[in-house]
Amino acid sequence: MNDRLLITDLDNTLYDWVTFFALAFDAMVEALVPLLDIDRYQILAEFKTVHQTLGSSEHPYAVFELPSVKTQFPDASPKELADYLDEPLHRFNSVRKAELRLYPGVAETLAELARRGVVLVGHTEAAAVNAYYRIHKLGISQHFRHLYVLEGPPVRHPEPERQRELEPPDNVLRVVPPAERKPNPRLLADICTTEGVALSDAVYVGDSLGRDVYMAKLAGVTAVWARYGTAYEPERWRTLVQVTHWTQEDVAREARIRESTRGVTPDYTIDAFSELTAILGAGSVALR
């Protein structure tokens, strides 16, 4: 029997990124309001500008770059700034710790699929350091042969020692060129070539119809929609939109993707990650 391959999206497929990140971010902002003595909306607007400069919304140390922080602590060393901002940073970390958890059945399903010899790889457009931190922290990194990440500006921790701890092992990461952003099907063809598995023996699972499912369909890979990944509170999404690094051009691109993916139909829709065990079950996944 041929090798089978599961390519899994990470955010909102393995864990609820939208919810934990929005809650952690909100907690940090709440602690910044009295410290900086400005309102929440100005803080969010400043974050948005800094995120756009950094090309990433997921950079909690963006707080060091906020104009209001620079005005308030103009001559502070990085160490002093970290002390001033200890409470907001602490709030972010503690809420993340409490809220970042796997969806039910993810760990067990990955272990079972690995036991059955399914090749498992992760794919994400989040920064490599953040993505690896999450799967490592969640205790599932050992199941993945590779983690495919989009080439992008490095996200670095201000403390070199901490940076070294966060650095993923070299043999795990595979960097994808920027042109292979979702929903470019070339990405999946390249992943299948790297893993030595035929497209017809591969399954892609993700929470986005317009990006994940559409891409898998274009590539000729079995497309699984993780519908449960879209079931977060709309309020959380609104928080993220207020601080997104997306530019006008990104927003326009998103609208084009949505337009061209109207009516995209997944091969399977799942309401729990564990349903993948049956989809990747006996026989070729192409026989469905």
Q: Which of 11, 58, 125, 180 binds Mg ion (CB under 5 A)?
A: 11
Helix, strand or coil, per DSSP, at residue 149: strand
Applying CB under 5 A, among 51, 207, 273, 285 the residue interacting with Mg ion is: 207
CA dihedral 197, 198, 201, 205 (to 10 degrees): 80
Question: Binders of Mg ion among 92-151, rule CB under 5 A?
Answer: none
Q: Tell me which stretch binds Mg ion (CB under 5 A): 4-12, 29-37, 100-108, 230-238.
A: 4-12
Q: Nearest approach, Cβ of 28 to Mg ion (angstroms)?
A: 22
Shortest distance, position 58 Cβ to Mg ion, whole Å = 13
Residue 125 or 275: the one with the smaller Cβ distance to Mg ion is 125
Query: How many chain residues are in contact with Mg ion, going by CB under 5 A?
Result: 4
Q: Which amino acid is at 209?
A: L
Euclidean distance between CA atoms 47 and 242, whole angstroms: 9
CB count within 10 Å of CB 233 equals 12
> Closest separation between CB of residue 284 and Mg ion, Å?
26
Q: Which residue, 17 or 25, is less far from Mg ion as judged by CB?
A: 17
Total Cβ atoms within 10 A of residue 46: 22
Written as one letter, the residue type at 31 is: A
12: contact with Mg ion by CB under 5 A: yes
We find the least distance from the C-beta atom of residue 11 to Mg ion, in angstroms, to be: 4
Nearest to 7 by CA among 226, 168, 238: 226
Q: Which is nearer to Mg ion, 66 or 216 (CB)?
A: 216
| Stretch of 5-13, 28-36, 77-85, 109-117 lying at the interface with Mg ion (CB under 5 A) | 5-13
Residue of 111, 148, 169, 126 lying closest to 8 (CA atoms): 148
Instruction: Give dist(CA 248, CA 234) in Å, integer.
Output: 22
Nearer to Mg ion, 17 or 61 (CB): 17
The stretches of the chain forming alpha helices (DSSP H) are: 17-36, 40-54, 67-72, 78-84, 86-99, 106-115, 128-137, 160-166, 186-195, 214-219, 234-242, 248-260, 276-279
Minimum separation from the CB atom of position 13 to Mg ion (A): 5
Under the criterion CB under 5 A, does residue 9 sit at the interface with Mg ion? yes
d(CA 160, CA 158): 6
* Least distance CB 213 / Mg ion (angstroms): 11
For Mg ion, the closer of residues 192 and 209 by Cβ is 209
- By CB under 5 A, residue 180 contacts Mg ion: no
Which pairing describes strands 268-270 and 119-124: parallel, antiparallel, or unpaired? unpaired
- Please tell me whether residue 56 binds Mg ion under the rule CB under 5 A: no
Residues that bind Mg ion (CB under 5 A): 9, 11-12, 207
